[in-house]
Amino acid sequence: MVAPTKDFQTVSDVMRERAISFDDLERTTGIGRGIIEAIAHQRYTPSPLQRERISCALRFPQHKIIWGHITAAEEYIYSRL
């Protein structure tokens, strides 16, 4: 996983910095809370439209958000057994 830098951050990093809640993002983006939580915890890779809506709501440049989907190594290893 890439560590956040001054220029690039995850959705959860920006939310924390700007004191934006899941409810705030749900209300301003029209995206369901479950999807927003999954995006913030990097369990879901958002569509281009979802990325646009979230970056606008966060007032943070879309190209500077780390959108990647991560999977815990344990989940990957155990799923292959």
pLDDT digits (tens, 9 = 90+) for 14-32: 999 999 999 999 999 999 9
CATH number at residue 25: 1.10.260.40
**Owning domain of residue 41:** 11-79
Enter the tokens of residue 34.
């479950």
Percent above pLDDT 90 for the chain = 72
Largest CA distance in the chain: 43
Q: What is the DSSP letter of 7?
A: S
Q: Is pLDDT of 13 > 80? A: yes
Angle subtended at Cα 70 by Cα 67 and Cα 75, rounded to the nearest 5 degrees: 160
Asked if residue 3 is part of any domain, the answer here is no
Question: Contact at 8 Å (CB) between 80 and 22?
Answer: no
Enter the tokens of residue 55.
């970056």
Asked if residue 55 is part of any domain, the answer here is yes
Asked if residue 30 is part of any domain, the answer here is yes
Q: What share of the chain is helix, strand, coil (3-state, %, to 5)?
A: 55, 0, 40
Q: Which residues pair with 65 in a beta bridge?
A: 9
